[in-house]
């Protein structure tokens, strides 16, 4: 859906470029005409997506709570405590952001609609007070399943942001590739995250969350690009 809007208006712009010759005397006029086409296209698409209905409100499964301000910034989304000794933090993104368009056509027999968000990449951090490192899980989250891609011990997210990470951390052994672990160990790690409420029950909320977040980011993108171009015209 969002890709369709971002690519809109390019045909009109291309027609304008083909129909004009860029002589020294016409560069300024042509540039203003191109800017006007872009602004009109941005405005049309901005108004179109502003009328879109948001998905039904979905609450996160208890006892997870939404991190304040998370919708307006990239990073953590949900948080909870477990057994009064652990803090569990979750962040999420669309899996198709990491997969080039059409990369999975041969396996699925075709592309899903751009409107679908049915494959999510979930990052889980399990931390304990007094410990500098936390346990990180990278998981694939689907409407009816969850799968672990990797497990590692790394500095806490707050520590990574606020302090420099030295070479001894960057090159620290992260463990074996998850699929190379013994099946019993893999099963035990799946039970570990399930006991902490990390399962497919998170999917409905996180899917709706990403719809709303993508909508906000696209609205902001149209507005800021339009403002930049408009300021150039006025200058």
Residues 90 and 188 in one domain: yes
Q: What is the predicted pLDDT for the residue at 183?
A: 96
Q: Tell me whether residue 59 is in a domain.
A: no
The secondary structure of the chain in percent helix, strand, coil, rounded to multiples of 5, reads 45, 20, 35
Q: Tell me whether residue 39 is in a domain.
A: yes
Residues 97 and 119 in one domain: yes
How many domains are there within the chain?
A: 2
Residues 27 and 130 in one domain: no
Residues 28 and 103 in one domain: no
115-143 pLDDT tens trace: 457 899 999 999 999 998 999 999 999 99
Q: What is the CATH number of the domain that holds 203?
A: 3.10.280.10
Name the band, by pLDDT with cuts 50, 70 and 90, for residue 98: low
170-188 pLDDT tens trace: 556 677 889 999 999 999 9
Q: Tell me whether residue 60 is in a domain.
A: no
* Containing structural domain, residue 154: 65-213
Tell me the pTM.
0.71
Q: What is the predicted pLDDT for the residue at 224?
A: 85
Contact partners, residue 216, CB within 8 Å, separation at least 6: 71, 72
Residues 33 and 21 in one domain: yes
């Amino acid at each position: 859906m969002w890709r369709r809007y971002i690519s809109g208006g390019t045909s009109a712009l291309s027609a304008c470029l083909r129909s004009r010759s860029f002589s020294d005397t016409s560069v300024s006029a042509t540039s203003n005409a191109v800017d006007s086409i872009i602004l009109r296209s941005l405005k049309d698409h901005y108004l179109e997506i502003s009328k879109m209905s948001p998905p039904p409100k979905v609450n996160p499964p208890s006892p997870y709570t939404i991190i304040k301000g998370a919708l307006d910034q990239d990073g953590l989304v949900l948080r909870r405590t477990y057994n009064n000794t652990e803090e569990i933090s979750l962040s999420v993104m669309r899996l198709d952001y990491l997969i080039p368009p059409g990369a999975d056509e041969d396996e699925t027999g075709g592309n899903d609609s751009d409107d679908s968000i049915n494959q999510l990449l979930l990052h889980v951090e399990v931390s304990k007070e007094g410990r500098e490192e936390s346990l990180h899980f990278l998981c694939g989250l689907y409407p009816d399943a969850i799968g672990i891609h990797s497990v590692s011990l790394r500095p806490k997210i707050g520590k990574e942001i606020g302090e420099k990470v030295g070479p001894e951390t960057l090159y620290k052994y992260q463990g074996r590739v998850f699929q190379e672990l013994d099946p019993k160990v893999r099963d035990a790690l799946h039970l570990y995250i399930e006991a902490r409420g990390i399962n497919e029950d998170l999917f409905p909320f996180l899917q709706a969350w990403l719809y709303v977040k993508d909508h906000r980011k696209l609205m902001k993108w149209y507005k800021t690009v339009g403002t930049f171009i408009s300021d150039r015209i006025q200058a």
